[in-house]
């Protein structure tokens, strides 16, 4: 590896750190887009089988080229800007919806040392980046100059702000027991403990001692990404498609990409924070990226499963769950974990 990089590095000279970072970014974004494309196919197939139908099977062998066909179709369509829309913000909306979903990957570790920015405040960075995701939706909803789009934007603002708080408190519990904000350290901290000593590593991952927080984080993650059953932001049957109603072609595709990239991001974060990241569940198998991929795929499957299972929440129920159930629960659990850490029963010495 070094021998290959060395001559290229000397060729670029002083610009090499920049080029190297760009190459690493491309190395993450390109596979991510491929995953997004095939996640859309997986969603249609999985939900299809759950509803005892076949799903897309016309384009390519077993419908495997369907995402490519969809992408080409969206690229070739015309982007229509409504005459009453606020032109500049109408274009900025979808860009802001996708941007944070990609920026967050800068601090996500894929394996030991495989991370673009191994920063100390990684978890804080993630909280900040995911908290600005809502702007794309709000701006799109307002700039479209349409009632449905506006209602979608307002709903998104209320919902995402509500669930962010519960999500934040769940993360506070995680950072308290790992006493670090660095994601690589959080994963490394999960590799130690009584379970790991017995050779059953999965028992010392954070999901077990923080089980209620794991559930809260997962559900808040679904709400943050506006996926069913929390998809009142789109709400096809009430407000047509919410903030996306006026968008067509590639502008719409950006929202779509953003939503699925966010799903993958939330799954990756749940795996890293609660399910031990790249650690292997049992000691006789080696750690590695493959375990993270399996965990991400499992949580993505849960996302699809929930969509096929649950009917959409009513709006006031969403707000009640966020404010009256999750926030008190997580607040209480922060105190419980704090007492637990200071008590002789602490698992994290």
Query: 345: burial class by Cβ within 10 Å (0-12, 13-18, 19+)?
Result: exposed
- Residue with structure tokens 């996708």? 98
- Give dist(CA 243, CA 75) in Å, integer: 20
Among 59, 68, 91, 154, binds another protein (CB under 8 A): 154
Size of the site for another protein (CB under 8 A): 28
CB of 129 to another protein, least distance (A): 8
Please, which residue, 73 or 324, has the CB nearer to another protein? Answer: 324
Residues 211 and 340 sit within 8 Å (Cβ to Cβ): no
Q: Would you count residue 132 as binding another protein (CB under 8 A)?
A: yes
Bond preceding residue 228 cis, omega within 30 of 0: no
- Give dist(CA 132, CA 236) in Å, integer: 24
Q: Would you count residue 157 as binding another protein (CB under 8 A)?
A: yes
- Give dist(CA 88, CA 314) in Å, integer: 33
Q: Contact letters (x/-) for another protein, 283-322, by CB under 8 A?
A: ---------------------------------xx--x--
Residues 160 and 168 sit within 8 Å (Cβ to Cβ): no
- Residue with structure tokens 């076949």? 54
- Residue with structure tokens 């993630």? 126
145: left (phi over 0), alpha (psi -120 to 50) or beta: left
CB of 301 to another protein, least distance (A): 27
Please, which residue, 98 or 156, has the CB nearer to another protein? Answer: 156
Please, which residue, 50 or 127, has the CB nearer to another protein? Answer: 127
Residues 302 and 225 sit within 8 Å (Cβ to Cβ): no
Q: Would you count residue 134 as binding another protein (CB under 8 A)?
A: yes
**Rg (alpha carbons) of the chain, rounded to whole number:** 21
CB of 138 to another protein, least distance (A): 6
Three-state DSSP at 114 gives strand
Q: Would you count residue 73 as binding another protein (CB under 8 A)?
A: no
Q: What are phi and psi of 30, to 5 degrees?
A: -65, -50
CB of 123 to another protein, least distance (A): 10
Q: Where in 170-199 is the site for another protein (CB under 8 A)?
A: 181
- Choose the binding region for another protein from 77-85, 152-160, 219-227, 248-256 (rule: CB under 8 A): 152-160
Please, which residue, 167 or 222, has the CB nearer to another protein? Answer: 167
| H/E element, 212 | helix 211-224
- Choose the binding region for another protein from 109-117, 126-134, 227-235, 274-282 (rule: CB under 8 A): 126-134
CB of 92 to another protein, least distance (A): 9
Kindly state the greatest CA–CA separation across the chain.
67
Q: Contact letters (x/-) for another protein, 83-102, by CB under 8 A?
A: ---x--x-------------
Q: Would you count residue 120 as binding another protein (CB under 8 A)?
A: yes
CB of 141 to another protein, least distance (A): 8
- Give dist(CA 230, CA 347) in Å, integer: 35
Q: Would you count residue 242 as binding another protein (CB under 8 A)?
A: no
By CB under 8 A, name the binding residues for another protein: 86, 89, 119-121, 124-125, 127-128, 131-132, 134-135, 138-139, 142, 150, 153-154, 157-158, 160-161, 164, 181, 316-317, 320
């Amino acid at each position: 590896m070094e021998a290959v990089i060395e001559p290229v590095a000397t060729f670029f000279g002083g610009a090499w750190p920049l080029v190297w970072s760009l190459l690493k970014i491309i190395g993450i974004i390109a596979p991510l887009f491929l995953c997004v494309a095939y996640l859309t196919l997986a969603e249609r197939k999985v939900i299809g089988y759950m509803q005892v139908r076949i799903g897309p099977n016309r384009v390519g062998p077993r419908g495997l080229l369907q995402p490519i066909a969809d992408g080409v179709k969206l690229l070739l369509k015309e982007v229509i800007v409504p005459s009453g829309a606020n032109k500049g913000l109408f274009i900025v909306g979808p860009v802001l919806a996708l941007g944070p979903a990609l920026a967050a990957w800068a601090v996500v570790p894929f394996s030991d040392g495989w991370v673009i920015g191994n920063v100390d405040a990684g978890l804080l960075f993630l909280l900040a980046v995911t908290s600005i995701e809502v702007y794309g939706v709000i701006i799109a909803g307002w700039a479209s100059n349409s009632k449905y789009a506006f209602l979608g934007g307002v709903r998104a603002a209320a919902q995402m702000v509500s669930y962010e708080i519960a999500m934040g408190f769940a993360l506070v519990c995680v950072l308290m027991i790992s006493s670090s904000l660095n994601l690589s350290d959080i994963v490394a901290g999960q590799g130690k403990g009584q379970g790991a000593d017995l050779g059953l590593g999965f028992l010392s991952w954070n999901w077990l001692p923080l089980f209620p927080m794991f559930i809260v984080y997962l559900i808040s993650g679904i709400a943050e990404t506006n996926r069913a059953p929390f998809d009142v932001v789109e709400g096809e049957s009430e407000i047509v498609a919410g903030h996306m109603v006026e968008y067509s072609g590639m502008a719409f595709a950006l929202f779509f990409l953003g939503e699925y990239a966010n799903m993958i991001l939330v799954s990756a974060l749940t795996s890293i924070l609660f399910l031990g990241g790249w650690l292997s569940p049992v000691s006789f198998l080696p750690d590695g990226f493959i375990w993270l991929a399996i965990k991400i795929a499992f949580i993505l499957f849960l996302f699809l499963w929930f969509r096929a299972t649950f009917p959409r929440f009513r709006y006031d129920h969403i707000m009640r769950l966020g404010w009256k159930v999750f926030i008190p629960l997580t607040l209480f659990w922060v105190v419980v974990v704090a007492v637990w850490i200071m008590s002789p029963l602490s698992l994290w010495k």
